[in-house]
Structure 1
Amino acid sequence: TQGGSVLFHVAIKPKLPPGVILEKISWGIESGSKHIAMLHVSPGKHVLKWVNLQDKYKKRVHMLNTTTLRIDKLTLEDSGRYWAQVSLTGGIENAQYFDLIVYEPMTSPQMLAEILSLTQDWCNVTLECHALETSGAENVSWESKGLPRELEQTGAPGPAPNPWTLALTLPLSQPSPSVTCVVSSPVDQKSATRDLGEVCGHGECSCLRGGDPQS
């Protein structure tokens, strides 16, 4: 997530052939068809040898050990494919790749409830779940509590247009059912819940309420 951190760890066989040791690891990033080297690190040495991109990364990159690199204060521009070139004695080399996608932090969605019709026994209501900021990578799922079984809303998240809409016809005899809209990205999740008993009981035409962060 934007502002967070990421770890890249190079996997090296625990038992190398006799006489073969790690000489250095070179770290870099792909830019189009080019492999741009950023820095080199050698075993037992805490000083990083920078070769490129110091202005962008130097204050945010740290080596936790010889094989683990951490990037702090991630920005959207940090997204890309990083690589590590492992150099062993005897001219043995191998490369490992790390794909990074940095997402913007999610904000809690808001739910709009609109009563289409209200009778003595039934409440016909439409719910809209509005994500205030979207990147196109979000999924949505509806969850319900206290609804008759045939009206329960569950299921795996799936992409949908923003806002996401759900139409329900509720028996007013049902005590305080609620519906939750859960919006999730690959790295975060937020939700908003509406008490439908409150909506239908007061005969509201429309109401907008934000959700609380998912705990």
Structure 2
Amino acid sequence: MTLGAELLFGLLYFCMTCANQDHFVRVIGLLHQSVELPSSPSLPSPVQEINWNFRSKEKSHKVAQIDNHQTKFYINQFNGRVKLLHNETTLHIKDLRMEDSGNYTVQFILIGEERYANFMLMVYEPVPDPSIMIVMEERTSHWCNVTLHCSVPTNSSPLNYNWIYKHTDSVYEDSGDTIHISLNYSWDMKFQCIVHNPADWKNVSKQERCNAQGPMEDSRKMYKRIWNLRCALTATFMVLSICCICLSHRCK
């Protein structure tokens, strides 16, 4: 085979691979829940045989075969968890497991032709209940610079974080597990963190108000500290004076 022929063959193979990938129907499943892979091809002639296959981690397995209206199930991974619906054109999987993620293909063998339907199943864990931790970083006389962190217990599935918060009629949105915001001391704001993956989501809310210290309150606190220090010095002076008087009497 010449170099040009090899390049042409490689290009054709690449195009066919891309085309096959484009025909995969993406299906989202939630751990321990059920899912259906429905195929509804237009079949012009009687179906002689139907084969359901599963491919994961470069290994291919036969899930089920229907021949002469007789159904056989294979691969122990799906033992007792799969059934065929709607004239065997839909694969129903219950009690989903993480290892059920992969590519599924149904093959319809007709008289003189074959037809296929492809599915890409992705199984995700449920999203745990999130929590919000608030850290006050800096206060001024009128503002609080606040950091809010949204987190969940350990979860192996990728998660996305979105924030919604509002003040009066204005609504703000942000993304990421941590946000930074400045609050006016007169604001009372509600923050909502939404944690989600393609199959599930949870949210948590927290009300926050900036308790900034105004100039009058700062002055009062400063005066109180000075007064406490003055009292402490006065008491110390009196104790020392009494000690000196006692010592002078003993010396006589």
Q: TM-score, with normalisation over the residues of structure 2?
A: 0.65
Q: How does 1:32-43 map to 2 (within 5 A)?
A: 32-42=57-67
Q: How does 1:157-196 map to 2 (within 5 A)?
A: 160=176, 164-174=177-187, 176-196=188-208
- Higher-Rg structure is 2
Give 2:100's aligned residue.
78
Letter in 2 for 1:48: T
Aligned CA RMSD, in angstroms, stands at 2.4
Displacement after TM superposition at 1:98 (Å):
0.8
Displacement after TM superposition at 1:117 (Å):
2.5
Deviations 1:98-137 (CA, angstroms, capped at 9, x unpaired) = 1111111111211100112234422221111112233352
CA distance in 2 between partners of 1:39 and 1:148 (Å): 57
8 A Cα contact 1:147 1:178, kept in partner: no
CA distance in 1 between partners of 2:168 and 2:179 (Å): 14
Give 1:99's aligned residue.
120
CA distance in 2 between partners of 1:2 and 1:127 (Å): 30
Letter in 2 for 1:183: V
Deviations 1:130-174 (CA, angstroms, capped at 9, x unpaired) = 12233352211110022684xx5315x5xx4xxx21111111212
Q: How does 1:68-147 map to 2 (within 5 A)?
A: 68-88=90-110, 90-135=111-156, 137-146=158-167
Give 2:53's aligned residue.
28
Letter in 2 for 1:77: E
Identity rate, percent? 28
| Counterpart selection for 1:2 from 5, 9, 31 | 31
8 A Cα contact 2:165 2:173, kept in partner: yes
CA distance in 1 between partners of 2:153 and 2:140 (Å): 33
